[in-house]
Copies of this chain bind each other. A is one copy, B any other.
């Protein structure tokens, strides 16, 4: 036993007790006649004191050799502190040290191990094991653990069974790119790492395990955008003998439970919105509804006034920014520049100010009278003091652009409060989306998602119009996850593969085992998957998932701490029957 207590638990109750403590040296304050050392471990900081009048010369000397991050063990007595620190749970006591042992020395760390550190991102990643000593990182990992435990407990209590599905599976070209694993025992053949346990969980439903879940690593070999990881963790779920509503109820319950765990507040029934409505009102299938600024469509009002840009646009749409009428010309120009950046790609933006004195003015005064502006303002529901921002163009494009602006303004105006939570179900997603590049339909969710029964005839006549039994859970403008009711009929599944451009042979080669399973009594089933990394980040009031991963990879998919990936030995390649090409 290296310690009788940890560094977060001693208080006035323990005064006069003999204790043994271990940990890292956080700071040493040497006042000559007295030396204070802050001793840190996972649980907190306890102050040690060495004092000329009470400690031996030798002990004072030993204490003076200590440096930051030394690992030490001390024996001593708990005493009441003279000047107490009410901010520290152990701040009323200190340890008068009687014996000091250095368990391990430490070189000066490459950055300070403090809540606010001087280390940059790259450096902290390289020395992630030191970064983890810092409270902000450590607490995020502990928070993640607690959430994962709550999720498992909640689902287990509802009779869900966690089943481990295999990691070494089979590559399917559909979807994102697979990571593959050469098989030494089967030369020329490869396993693939799962992008999700999708087919396995469906097979578990065929197998009768009607409530399945798994917190599971998934893998995607994508060109990494910021804050995407090649390996990530999903809460993966599937249920049999259920309809969409049943699944939504269960996972609304789970999410509300987690929200209550974090906030202490009850969350009633989550609001719902169709995909179409979300796109119309927010230009986005994962709207942040913590704040308003809903889209207002204006095409009918603004056309025919000789303003060519609006006249020629498929859609004119805007948002009302409350209380922003006092934005200066410079501020507005900066916003216009912001939407014209290539990442957003707008060609321009029109503004209308509803001044505090009720006067209406705009950047298109030439074309629109104050009466025109008044009609527009009325549709916006604008009040004196508000600023209306209008964009125009092809409908889908302009909605995306305006959505980006709305989110940016939400951030700038502090409307996206990290301690406020606004869950939302988005439902009735399209089954298919047209891909210009390949000139064919892609599954919006995945090839196993079922169409709404009433839309099945449209699969023949107008596939793009078919709605799916698919749903996403959105939290604070982030997609937490989504799911669907699956096709459980062999014929319908064949038709779906056909729509997606699979030949019967290709479908058989890739999904034969699933189609085959459906012959033997597949129950109606559906499910959902949540991204755990993102969910815990958002529940903790953050959006950067990397902080919630113990050992994340950088944007090149590299672990800079262990320096992986790396070349392997020629013998390994030979055994795998592989050669590297130039």
Residues of chain A having any CB pair with chain B under 8 Å: 1-3, 22-24, 40-42, 69-71, 103-107, 109, 127-133, 138, 141-142, 145, 148-149, 152-153, 156, 161-171, 173, 177-193, 199-200, 203-204, 206-210, 217, 219, 221, 223-224, 230-231, 233, 241-243, 245-246, 488-489, 513, 517-524, 549-551, 553, 556-559, 561-569, 572, 574-582
Residue numbers in B under 8 Å from A181 (CB-CB): 179-181, 193, 565
Contact B208 A132 (CB under 8 A): yes
Question: Nearest-CB distance from A239 to chain B (Å)?
Answer: 10
Contact A180 B576 (CB under 8 A): yes
Query: Which 8 residue pairs of A and B lie closest in terms of their CB atoms, listed nearest first?
Result: A132-B207, A106-B521, A170-B564, A2-B241, A189-B565, A183-B565, A69-B521, A129-B203
Contact of A186 among B163, B168, B183, B558 (CB under 8 A): B558
Contact B103 A524 (CB under 8 A): yes
Contact of A167 among B70, B138, B219 (CB under 8 A): B219
Residue numbers in B under 8 Å from A224 (CB-CB): 185
Contact of A208 among B128, B138, B221, B563 (CB under 8 A): B138
Contact B24 A204 (CB under 8 A): no
Question: Nearest-CB distance from A571 to chain B (Å)?
Answer: 9
Contact B207 A559 (CB under 8 A): no
Given contact pairs A71-B521, A138-B208, A145-B163, a sample of 15 additional A-B residue pairs in the complex whose CB atoms are under 8 Å apart: A2-B242, A22-B241, A24-B523, A70-B521, A104-B489, A104-B522, A141-B161, A141-B163, A141-B209, A168-B559, A171-B568, A173-B572, A188-B580, A513-B561, A577-B581
Given that A3-B241, A208-B24, A208-B132 are known contacts, is A564 also in contact with B145, CB under 8 Å in the complex? no
Contact B133 A42 (CB under 8 A): no
Residue numbers in B under 8 Å from A581 (CB-CB): 574, 577-579
Question: Nearest-CB distance from A277 to chain B (Å)?
Answer: 26
Question: Nearest-CB distance from A419 to chain B (Å)?
Answer: 24
Contact B71 A562 (CB under 8 A): no
Cα–Cα, bound, A300→B517 (Å): 66
- Could you say which of A148, A230, A569 has the most chain B C-beta atoms within 10 Å of its C-beta? A230
Residue numbers in B under 8 Å from A149 (CB-CB): 152-153, 156, 162
Residue in chain B with minimal CB distance to A109: B520
Contact A171 B578 (CB under 8 A): no
Contact A563 B129 (CB under 8 A): no
Could you show 18 A-B contacts with beta carbons less than 8 Å apart?
A41-B208, A103-B523, A107-B520, A129-B203, A130-B207, A133-B207, A138-B208, A142-B161, A145-B162, A149-B153, A164-B549, A168-B219, A170-B564, A171-B566, A180-B182, A180-B572, A199-B562, A203-B551
Residue numbers in B under 8 Å from A557 (CB-CB): 168, 183, 185-186
Contact of A520 among B69, B145, B178 (CB under 8 A): B69
Contact B563 A170 (CB under 8 A): yes
Question: Nearest-CB distance from A6 to chain B (Å)?
Answer: 8
Cα–Cα, bound, A193→B194 (Å): 13
* Main secondary structure on A side of the interface with B: loop
Given that A132-B204, A184-B177, A580-B577 are known contacts, is A553 also in contact with B521, CB under 8 Å in the complex? no
Contact A2 B565 (CB under 8 A): no
Residue numbers in B under 8 Å from A106 (CB-CB): 519-521
Contact of A71 among B131, B186, B517, B523 (CB under 8 A): B523
Contact A167 B217 (CB under 8 A): yes
Contact of A209 among B42, B178, B182 (CB under 8 A): B42
Residue numbers in B under 8 Å from A582 (CB-CB): 577
Question: Nearest-CB distance from A567 to chain B (Å)?
Answer: 6
Given that A132-B208, A180-B181, A553-B166 are known contacts, is A189 also in contact with B566, CB under 8 Å in the complex? yes
Residue numbers in B under 8 Å from A520 (CB-CB): 69, 106-107, 109, 127, 129-130
Residue numbers in B under 8 Å from A179 (CB-CB): 168, 181, 191
Residue numbers in B under 8 Å from A517 (CB-CB): 127, 129
Residue numbers in B under 8 Å from A70 (CB-CB): 521
Question: Nearest-CB distance from A223 to chain B (Å)?
Answer: 8
Contact A189 B243 (CB under 8 A): no
Residue numbers in B under 8 Å from A163 (CB-CB): 141, 145, 550
Cα–Cα, bound, A89→B567 (Å): 60
Cα–Cα, bound, A551→B200 (Å): 9
Residue numbers in B under 8 Å from A565 (CB-CB): 168, 170, 181, 183, 186, 189-191
Question: Nearest-CB distance from A466 to chain B (Å)?
Answer: 22
Residue numbers in B under 8 Å from A187 (CB-CB): 580
Residue numbers in B under 8 Å from A522 (CB-CB): 71, 104
Residue in chain B with minimal CB distance to A216: B217
Cα–Cα, bound, A133→B156 (Å): 20
Contact B145 A156 (CB under 8 A): yes
Contact B210 A42 (CB under 8 A): yes
Residue numbers in B under 8 Å from A549 (CB-CB): 164
Question: Nearest-CB distance from A477 to chain B (Å)?
Answer: 25
Residue in chain B with minimal CB distance to A149: B156
Cα–Cα, bound, A148→B169 (Å): 23
Cα–Cα, bound, A165→B208 (Å): 32
Given that A71-B521, A180-B568, A231-B168 are known contacts, is A1 also in contact with B210, CB under 8 Å in the complex? no
Contact A230 B3 (CB under 8 A): no
Contact of A152 among B152, B184, B192, B563 (CB under 8 A): B152
Residue numbers in B under 8 Å from A559 (CB-CB): 166, 168-170
